[in-house]
Amino acid sequence: MINIVCNIDDTYVDFCKLMLLGLFKNNPDEEFTVYVIETQIKESANKKIKELESTFRVDIVFCEVPYSFIENYPIKEQDHLSLAAYLRIFISDLLPQTVDKVLYLDCDLLIMDSIADLWNIDLEEFAVAAVEERPPFDVESPRTLGYPESYSYFNSGVMLINLKYWRKLQLSKACQEYISENFDKIELHDQDVLNALLYDKKKLLPIRWNLMDFFLFTKLDIQKRRLNDLCAAFEKPAIVHFTGRRKPWVHNCDSPFRKRYVQLAREYNCHVVPVAVSAHYYIRYYWYLFLRACKLKRKKVLTASDINQIITDPQKSLILLNNKTR
């Protein structure tokens, strides 16, 4: 039995359902219990997720958190995240005491492979296992949040959680106290809080378990020690994370994995994706295919002009790539 937890408000119900569909499709031999931490959800919305029980080997349990618990937590205006992100900090209090281990999954994920190997990772000595973020988080976040700069910063969108450890730390209480005392320092919501409190209690995971958008399409000053890890994730991604504002359900999403997301939505008749796709998306998509074929180790993604040149004249691509990468 694999225990999953996710958190939603009324705006993320359909996306949560599609994320779970990808999970179940790629793990047909597994049995799941899914704990959905929610706030301000309509009964009709709950039914959309609950109906998955009739098709897959899953029990779905809803855990409600009153909105008053999080309504005064810090969040920036026009942020692409909602206050529901803070629901993660209550996981150890809300789930049954008999549950010692759980896999937290954000709603903006695309599950593309079995998670059995991830679930079976030994967490005995750690509070959490997660994928390390990219620069500048590894430098700026420790300074801002108040922990040693020798420790890295992790993304909280995919977390394997040792609930026994969280309960031992009384983490929910510690998170609330940290928010109260460091209100003005918090930029990335619960993720900042969890990093501040668990910086020396985490196990870092391979990138394939949380392949975030910025690993593909931003100027990437990734450390040399992570290049092989990135290439392995690029070759066989297990969990793709659509970080940032350009989610796969909006028109301006240019992720190369948006096509797979759309295919999954259509397969299960989930109406979460707009029909129109920009030309820029196709450029990104074919660029991704090219990189995967080359198994490219690179420092920076090329400009749009560079990408167009590669597509129109592949013979020049190796010269161009050699000039742009380490």
Count CA atoms closer than 13 A to 197's CA, side-chain side.
Answer: 25
CB 76, CB 46: distance < 8 Å: no
pLDDT greater than 70 at residue 42: yes
Q: 138-152, 171-185, 232-246: lowest mean pLDDT where?
A: 138-152
The DSSP 8-state label assigned to residue 316 in this structure reads G
What domains can be seen in the chain, in order of their start residue? 2-205 (3.90.550.10), 221-235+245-324 (no CATH)
Query: What are 275-285's pLDDT values in tens digits?
Result: 454 455 556 55
Give the angle 41-46-51 at the CA atoms, nearest 5°: 170
Spatial separation of the C-alpha atoms in residues 140 and 194, rounded to whole Å: 16
CB 86, CB 163: distance < 8 Å: no
pLDDT greater than 50 at residue 322: no
Spatial separation of the C-alpha atoms in residues 277 and 300, rounded to whole Å: 25
| Strand order across the beta sheet in which 2-8 lies | 58-64, 32-38, 2-8, 101-105, 158-162, 128-130, 202-204
238-242 mean pLDDT: 95
pLDDT greater than 50 at residue 307: no
Query: What are 187-228's pLDDT values in tens digits?
Result: 888 899 999 999 999 999 999 999 988 776 545 556 567 777
Secondary structure element (H or E) that encloses residue 9, with its range: none
Taking the model in full, what pTM does it have?
A: 0.81
CB 85, CB 79: distance < 8 Å: no
For residue 4, the cross-strand partners are 34, 103
What secondary structure does DSSP assign to 112-177, as a single string?
A: -S--HHHHT---TT-SEEE-B--TTHHHHHHHHHTS-TTS--B-TTEEEEEHHHHHHHTHHHHHHH
CA distances 312 to 20, 286, 317, Å, are 39, 11, 10
Q: Confidence band (pLDDT; 50, 70, 90) for 299?
A: very low
Query: What are 79-92's pLDDT values in tens digits?
Result: 545 666 778 888 99
The DSSP 8-state label assigned to residue 10 in this structure reads T
Residue 214 has which token pair? 């910025």
Secondary structure element (H or E) that encloses residue 86, with its range: none
The DSSP 8-state label assigned to residue 224 in this structure reads G
Higher-confidence position of 41 and 162: 162
Closest CA to 255 of 281, 235, 231, 236: 281
